[in-house]
Amino acid sequence: MQRLYRKRIILGVGGGIAAYKSAELVRRLKDQGAEVRVVMTQGGREFITPLTLQALSGHPVHLDLLDPAAEAAMGHIELARWADLVLIAPATADLMARLAQGVANDLLTTLVLATDAPVALAPAMNQAMWRDPATLANVELLRSRGLKMFGPASGSQACGDVGLGRMLEADDLVHLAADCFEHLALTGKHVLITAGPTQENIDPVRYITNHSSGKMGFALAEAAVEAGAKVTLISGPVHLATPDRVTRIDVVSARDMLAACEAAMPCDILIAAAAVADYRPEVVAQHKLKKDPNSGDGLLLQMVRNPDILATLAQRDDRPFSVGFAAETENLLEYASRKLKDKNLDLIVANDVANPSIGFNSEDNAITIIDRGLQQSSFAQTSKGKIARQLVSFIAAQQPKS
């Protein structure tokens, strides 16, 4: 059931007595790690209160299409884009008829028209209404358009009848919702990624850094999310937008980055793409250093070693699957292989930063992956986004099968 982990589900609640089951459905979806937003029709509000579903989902319930406050917070188009799945439970005969005709006269029907996400309906109605030719025709029309039907089940109904038309139970709906999603390669994994440069202060004005843009690390974070992972991205100072669904922690120095990584542990996979400064000034001046007329043209800085973040994390008792980067300007594979062994890594990713087309600040990359057995796998030059997806797929293939 990890397929629902971090999935965004809109639960539409129609106006039927089965709406009382929606509260349990929200709980079950959240138990599986899904994020749930509830949209209620006017009829749904007659059977269960929005406050109940707000308390269970942890989010305000969306009620009206033309509510100015709701539109200001998360408009109906943005809500439609947000969803990975729209699940309507209960779906009444009236609601299904309006959906079949493309009517958009309330928030829920408008969302269904506006979303690109899969839409699933859990029918709930009297057995005679379910058997009516108009209802059956609407069901076939909706199915032909790609909407999924979850049920109905057969059983006793609120009116006293027995037959098809009863809404499925919450656990059944959760399993069917999970089936809407492919089991992604890193589903259920926590991936910790470092990105960008670090900055080591000389004085309040100046610092030592490098040319890393952070683009590779951010692309990896996006690719890991696409593969179903929970992603924590710890970044040095960069000018990049945070990828969707990524928890980002901004740091400055190497020691800041190590502390943030340790606080984010444990994780299943560590991808250390950051270009961490090996050294820092031993003493940081409290005030801006001024030119000394008696010192000639030079300035002497005493440097000390920074902690080795990757080696420190790869030596832990709860060590994750550890992937490092070797950005080199010469002897690429030799230096990368040495780093793999010295830092106790599972994989090392070597790239030639002397080549400006694949170096720091470039849009492209080309890499060679070396494993513990010193086997090499090379990926030709392409965009960093594509390289990131290739690398994440490679890492996923190394994970034990659950």
The dihedral region occupied by 137, where left means phi > 0, alpha psi between -120 and 50, and beta the remainder, is alpha
As beta bridge partners, residue 325 has 349
Half-sphere exposure of 230 (CA within 13 A, CB side): 15
Same domain, 302 and 354: yes
Q: Which residue of the set 159, 180, 261, 267 is catalytic?
A: 159
**Preceding omega of 50 cis (within 30 degrees of 0):** no
**Token pair recorded at residue 278:** 């090996």
CB 83 within 8 A of CB 116: no
**Token pair recorded at residue 236:** 């040095």
From 151, 178, 205, the end of a domain falls on: 178
How many of the other CB atoms lie within 10 Å of CB of 156? 10
Residue type, 344: N
Give the global pTM: 0.68
Q: How many angstroms separate the CA atoms of 288 and 329, rounded?
A: 33
Same domain, 171 and 31: yes
Same domain, 85 and 142: yes
Same domain, 174 and 208: no
Same domain, 65 and 120: yes
Q: How many angstroms separate the CA atoms of 59 and 55, rounded?
A: 7
Q: What is the DSSP letter of 205?
A: S
**Token pair recorded at residue 36:** 């749930």
One DSSP character per residue, 114-164 reads H--S-EEEEE---HHHHHSHHHHHHHHHHHHTT-EE---EEEE-TTS-EEE
Same domain, 291 and 391: yes
For the chain, the domain total comes to 2
Three-class SS state of 104: coil
Q: How many angstroms separate the CA atoms of 209 and 275, rounded?
A: 9
Same domain, 108 and 211: no
Q: What is the DSSP letter of 3?
A: G
Q: What CATH code is carried by the domain that includes residue 200?
A: 3.40.50.10300
Give the pLDDT score at 232: 98
* Structural domain contains residue 39: yes
Same domain, 173 and 196: no
List the pLDDT tens digit at each of the 402 positions of the chain. 467 877 889 999 999 999 999 999 999 999 998 999 999 999 999 999 999 999 999 999 998 876 665 555 556 677 888 888 999 999 999 999 999 999 988 899 999 998 888 999 999 998 889 999 999 999 999 999 999 999 898 877 666 777 788 899 999 999 999 888 876 789 889 999 999 999 999 999 999 999 999 999 999 998 999 888 999 999 999 999 998 889 999 999 999 999 999 999 999 999 999 999 999 999 999 999 888 777 667 778 899 999 999 999 999 999 999 999 998 889 989 999 999 999 999 999 998 888 888 878 788 888 999 999 999 999 988 888 889 989 999 999 998 865
Same domain, 169 and 46: yes
Give the pLDDT score at 335: 93
Same domain, 347 and 378: yes
One DSSP character per residue, 14-31 reads -SSGGGHHHHHHHHHHHH
Give the pLDDT score at 296: 65
Give the pLDDT score at 137: 96
Same domain, 197 and 295: yes
* Structural domain contains residue 32: yes
Residue type, 49: T
**Token pair recorded at residue 344:** 């106790």
Q: Is 261 a catalytic residue?
A: no
Domain that holds residue 381: 190-397
Q: How many angstroms separate the CA atoms of 110 and 9, rounded?
A: 16
Give the pLDDT score at 2: 66
Give the pLDDT score at 295: 64
* Structural domain contains residue 184: no
From 144, 178, 212, the end of a domain falls on: 178
* Structural domain contains residue 106: yes
Same domain, 126 and 158: yes
CB 39 within 8 A of CB 111: yes
Q: What CATH code is carried by the domain that includes residue 122?
A: 3.40.50.1950
* Structural domain contains residue 246: yes
Give the pLDDT score at 63: 87
Three-class SS state of 387: helix
- Indicate the Cα dihedral angle 352, 214, 287, 292, nearest 10°: 20
Residue type, 138: N
Give the pLDDT score at 385: 86
How many of the other CB atoms lie within 10 Å of CB of 184? 17
* Structural domain contains residue 297: yes
Q: How many angstroms separate the CA atoms of 88 and 79, rounded?
A: 15
